[in-house]
Structure 1
């Protein structure tokens, strides 16, 4: 996939606009503080801003959550360099990153599939088939660990590795840079942003900046945490209570409802997808957490309703199946269909507005 996966979108008013008006901040003054690279994402508004010189812009304060819980709402405004985001978005859909393999990042991270690919296991490349489920890149900038193993510790490191991984892009950085450098429009774009122009480090930096912009704000549950008590229904509220009571919250917490720790898969018993123990595909090696069971990074549950199938091998085809399996193997208990439905309602409420492309 080399074409842009999403079409043009109009600029829309944001929550921060409303906040500025309430605080008496003149919109003309606020807009003057932001550069032409400022853009908007999300139907109800995620503001991403950069100052004219690329340094962070000052944004108006936003109300803090009214309900203190282990889950933190996604921010409604973030500070990124909008010029880099636009360039990174261009690279994200560029198949030259795979050195002739015909793949771009967008080949496996598709907007219609929650920025995953909907397959149990990624297709991989000829002679190097994929071995793990494709993880979404929605809200990926809020993770502190990356990939299934969680042993990659920055988004930049992850983007750099994917290019040459023989089961993902299968490219060679030497060839990638040569091919990109032959594009005068692209080299000009890099020269306007980076003092040293088009380099491996700067390609990675731009891609990472774009990925950080893929935020899904205003999920019903986030609005609930901010005090909008009717944002979620009674089933979702009950599901959240069960989620906490059963202990799911001990691993799935924080702003990304996961993505920040490692955990054994199969604490109580061994799932059929984990019979290879610590050698299970995608598992962390040498984590020191377990020697006989696979250890994975705890996935984020944001927008989880859109990213089936689930687990490292896609063995859970539905969210209900995934909930039941987690109860059995991670909690050591069976839960009723009614409780499964309530937890599913809560997880559905974690889906926010889809990210929209930047608008200059």
Structure 2
């Protein structure tokens, strides 16, 4: 293990905490997490030894903000593309993958290694270590929000108004359910098929948006989804610029 990875492993051993909403989850084994970190950065898990998990997610598990077809970077909005999600808080997902076909984190990791990275079948031990590392990655906390995603008493008025819109007229909370801000089912929002409802935790730093990265800004993503909900529920509501500002303020705090 390189010096840099050893330092990261020490930090994990000292700072590992359950993801938000997982206060009753068992603490991960620091040694298993450290092994998972090493494997996460190991290109030998892929076919040909050309890429590692960190190629798309960095050593921190966050997204590299790129859209892929297989292992090839493509233009955002490519109909066949899949936007790289963050792994922060991934231990709290309902199901995994844009297709929503992996019911557990372990199955999702195994599928990425074997099907996308064209690597060998991972051992049970290595899979457990990788899953332990990913589960150790919490969402960053924000002083304006409680752990369940609701505004704290000291949140700005814009964040509070945005939350009210999120669970009210905007309809966002219908699919992005607190506290994980995702849902296990797949929905068709007119972007080319049914896809898993992604978590909105850390959403402000996960552009581009939607499964194919078609929307560059969070503001445009909010506008698109408001229109989808308004059409589906036949509300006839058109958001003002101020309402979009408030929704973006709330989402940016997640």
TM-score scaled by structure 1?
0.60
Aligned residues: 241
Residues 1:295 and 2:194 are matched in the alignment: yes
Residues 1:139 and 2:89 are matched in the alignment: yes
Distance 1:118 1:5, change over 3 A: farther
Match of 1:110 in 2: 58
Within the candidate set 72, 80, 102, 1:152 is matched to 102
Within the candidate set 220, 227, 243, 1:321 is matched to 220
Residues 1:250 and 2:174 are matched in the alignment: yes
1:135 is displaced (CA, Å) by 1.5
1:197-212 counterparts in 2 under 5 A?
200-212=123-135
- How many Å separate the matches in 2 of 1:3 and 1:263? 44
Unaligned runs of 5+ in 2: 232-236
1:330 is displaced (CA, Å) by 3.2
8 A contact 2:208–2:214 mirrored in 1:
yes
8 A contact 1:74–1:222 mirrored in 2:
no
- How many Å separate the matches in 2 of 1:238 and 1:38? 39
1:264 is displaced (CA, Å) by 2.1
Distance 1:101 1:336, change over 3 A: farther
Within the candidate set 133, 158, 163, 2:113 is matched to 163
**Alignment partner of 2:68: what SS?**
coil
- How many Å separate the matches in 2 of 1:256 and 1:158? 18
Distance 1:3 1:306, change over 3 A: farther
Distance 1:97 1:261, change over 3 A: same
Within the candidate set 11, 14, 17, 1:39 is matched to 14
1:169 is displaced (CA, Å) by 1.3
Unaligned runs of 5+ in 1: 12-36, 49-72, 174-198, 267-272, 275-293, 351-360
- How many Å separate the matches in 2 of 1:325 and 1:206? 39
Match of 2:253 in 1: 349
Within the candidate set 233, 238, 241, 1:334 is matched to 238
Within the candidate set 27, 49, 70, 1:124 is matched to 70
